[in-house]
Amino acid sequence: MRILLAEDDAMIGDAVRTSLRQEGYAVEWVRDGRAAETALATEHFDLALLDLGLPGKDGIEVIQGVRQRKQAIPLIVITARDGVGERIKGLDAGADDYVVKPFDMDELLARIRSALRRSAGHAEPSIEVMGVRLNPATREVTRDGQPVLLSAREYAVVEALMLRPGVILSRAQLAERMYAWGEEVESNTVEVHIHGARRKLGSDFIQNVRGVGYFVPKPGAKA
> 135-177, pLDDT tens digit by residue?
876 778 999 989 999 988 888 889 888 888 888 998 888 887 7
pLDDT given at position 16: 93
* Average pLDDT score, the chain: 85
Give per-residue pLDDT as tens, 14-65. 999 999 988 888 899 999 999 999 999 988 898 999 998 899 998 899 999 9
Is the four-CA dihedral 31, 33, 38, 43 of positive or negative sign? positive
Indicate whether this model's pTM tops 0.75.
Answer: no
**CA atoms within 13 Å, Cβ hemisphere of 163:** 22
Q: Is the pLDDT of residue 222 over 60?
A: no
pLDDT given at position 180: 54
* % the chain with pLDDT above 70: 91
Q: Which residue has the higher pLDDT, 75 or 123?
A: 75
